[in-house]
Structure 1
Amino acid sequence: MTNIFMAVFAYLIDKFFGEFPIKHPVEAMGEMITFFEERYYEDSVARGILLVLFITVSLFVASMAVYLYLDYLPTFLTAIISSVIASMFIAHNMLYNSVKDILSADDKKEALSMLVSRDVDKMSESDIYKASIETYAENLSDGVVAPILYLVLFGLPGIIVYKAINTMDSMVGYKNKKYANYGKAAAVLDDIVNYIPARLTAILIMIISKQTNFLAFYEDGAKHDSPNAGHPITAMALAIDVKLGGDAYYFGELKKKPFFGDGNEIITEQDVKNALNLGKITKL
């Protein structure tokens, strides 16, 4: 029950207060990853495994130390402090506002480029809105549902170690010349820990949007390169009746991508608002 309380309270803190004006712990995680890479990078899977062990073990030990220290306090006070810390690893407030701000930005392409890795220069307005919805749907899983799930299951150490894995993947989990080997362990581990949260997120979206078949997302979702990302994206496409996905440019190269959903191909500002409203309704 304590972990459930922490999860609810942490989400509410993020919802109403967002990011605190202090150095974000995820930024500190990124600095640890960079510290290891600058000193021990090698184009090998083995060296990437050492990175994963260094980061996860270090942060597990640190989080357990905090957990054990807080355990000396009264239970209620421990839960409150832990919830405040945990809220910094939940990103719905930031995610929601970042996507919403694209709609009112003077330069929508520049605003979008802060959220996605794909090239934005050649995007039409419909492409911008499509990418906005995709990143929102995908990040509902690894930015909201997954952290909360691991907080409920494993307490404060669970959410911290999960976020460390997710941060490693976002920094080194690329299939390019530099990271294909070095980042492989981080990418595989991220796929494993997000397997259930991605599907849970998709099911929640389908249920809240009152879809008749709440597993209808699975066929298209399985077409994505990622074993996880396609499921919440497809669920969102079905929920707001649009077609997401399709070819996109990354670092100057065209990447062939499947489609998700079978709704409207021209994505509008209203579709983005519908996706954002759905995210608020689900209380994700």
Structure 2
Amino acid sequence: MFFELALLAYLIDMVFGELPCKHPVVWMGDFINTYERRFYGNRIMPGAVLVISLLLLTLLTSVMLVFLCGLLPAWLALPVLAVLASTGLAMNMLHGSVAAILTAKQPKQAVSLLVSRDTDSMTETDIYKAALETWAENLSDGVIAPLFYLVLFGLPGIAAYKAINTLDSMIAYKTERYFYFGKTAAIMDDIANYIPARLTALLIVLLAADRQRAWQCVLRDSHKLESPNAGFPISALAGALGVGLAGDACYHGQLKHKPTLGSPLNPVNHNTLVQALKMKTGVNFIVLSILTIGIGLS
């Protein structure tokens, strides 16, 4: 277990957020775009080769970095590894990006940077719903999941997870272009997020003012979405806030019918998003406490 590394990396992300350098995810995105331009074919095999290639490249690079850090003095190796690992955590960036919607002069444009759905016809309620869903789902994808794999496998673990997550965000769409090409990436992402999504839902339930309602919502609604994972944190947040999330939305010009998660006991508005974002403090406290306990027990 890599509790010390995870704790230091999490603290670095809390204090400094994104580091002023080209993010590893950008390098991964460049690799994916280059591969797609040269070898694209809407078949499973080219997509699978892309997934395997990026994972191998990511693992080899991260293992080499761990080896090089091992050559440093012991007092320096851990901080350097922690700085590298912190680039895979996104609590600071996620909170800031979602919170920006609260003060944006053009909320539709702000939310379009966070979601893949069409935003032109969104109402004010739709904008805040999309922001809440982004906050819930990315607590798993951007915070809990990378931290989970960092604790288990160190730098190679978080690097491999970010590669899978980046592939999912770029090519795992059920469109004509990506239906088969992105199939392997989508399956890998579903597998990688299976446990973290459920841990995130549990975390949100623990932070809810009405834990019973939040938990009942998870039990009732978490399996309603097409994704095997996204419904868990979203339904937990819907229950915690007493609102209805998900529902119909437009993607690539087509209306997609989705079930509503939660119950619309309260309106979805500016104050709802403020309330959800306040969970950051509780998430930080629980995560830091678990990591500290882990260090003590290891």
**TM-score, with structure 2 as normaliser:** 0.92
- 2:270 corresponding residue in structure 1: 269
Distance (Å, rounded) in 2 between the aligned partners of 1:75 and 1:247: 54
Residue 203 of structure 1 pairs with residue 202 of structure 2: yes
Residue 63 of structure 1 pairs with residue 62 of structure 2: yes
Distance (Å, rounded) in 1 between the aligned partners of 2:206 and 2:47: 39
Structure 1 position 144, deviation (Å): 0.3
- 1:212 corresponding residue in structure 2: 212
Counterpart residue identity of residue 276, structure 1? L
Counterpart residue identity of residue 256, structure 1? H
Residue 151 of structure 1 pairs with residue 143 of structure 2: no
Contact (CA 8 Å) 2:10, 2:89: kept in 1 or not? yes
Counterpart residue identity of residue 220, structure 2? E
Structure 1 position 153, deviation (Å): 0.1
- Identical residues among aligned pairs (%): 47
Unaligned runs of 5+ in 1: none
Name the stretch that deviates more: 258-267 or 208-217. 208-217
Task: State the number of aligned residues.
Answer: 283
Contact (CA 8 Å) 1:64, 1:157: kept in 2 or not? yes
Distance (Å, rounded) in 2 between the aligned partners of 1:39 and 1:204: 42
5 Å-filtered alignment, 1:1-284, equals 3-209=2-208, 211-212=211-212, 215-216=215-216, 217-264=218-265, 266-283=267-284
Q: C-alpha deviations, 1:28-51, integer Å up to 9, x for none?
A: 010111121111111210111111
Name the stretch that deviates more: 74-83 or 164-173. 74-83
Contact (CA 8 Å) 1:198, 1:232: kept in 2 or not? yes
Structure 1 position 240, deviation (Å): 1.4
Contact (CA 8 Å) 2:44, 2:183: kept in 1 or not? yes
| 1:206 alignment partner, SS class | helix
| 1:249 alignment partner, SS class | strand
**Runs of 4+ displaced beyond 4 Å:** none
Counterpart residue identity of residue 172, structure 1? I
Distance (Å, rounded) in 2 between the aligned partners of 1:34 and 1:252: 23
Distance (Å, rounded) in 2 between the aligned partners of 1:208 and 1:266: 20
Counterpart residue identity of residue 113, structure 1? S
| 1:179 alignment partner, SS class | coil
Aligned alpha-carbon RMSD (Å): 1.4
Distance (Å, rounded) in 2 between the aligned partners of 1:47 and 1:218: 38
Q: C-alpha deviations, 1:246-269, integer Å up to 9, x for none?
A: 111112211101111113363110
Unaligned runs of 5+ in 2: 288-298
Distance (Å, rounded) in 2 between the aligned partners of 1:278 and 1:66: 34
Distance (Å, rounded) in 2 between the aligned partners of 1:23 and 1:126: 35
Contact (CA 8 Å) 2:214, 2:237: kept in 1 or not? no
Counterpart residue identity of residue 253, structure 1? Q
| 2:278 alignment partner, SS class | helix
Counterpart residue identity of residue 252, structure 2? F
Structure 1 position 215, deviation (Å): 4.2
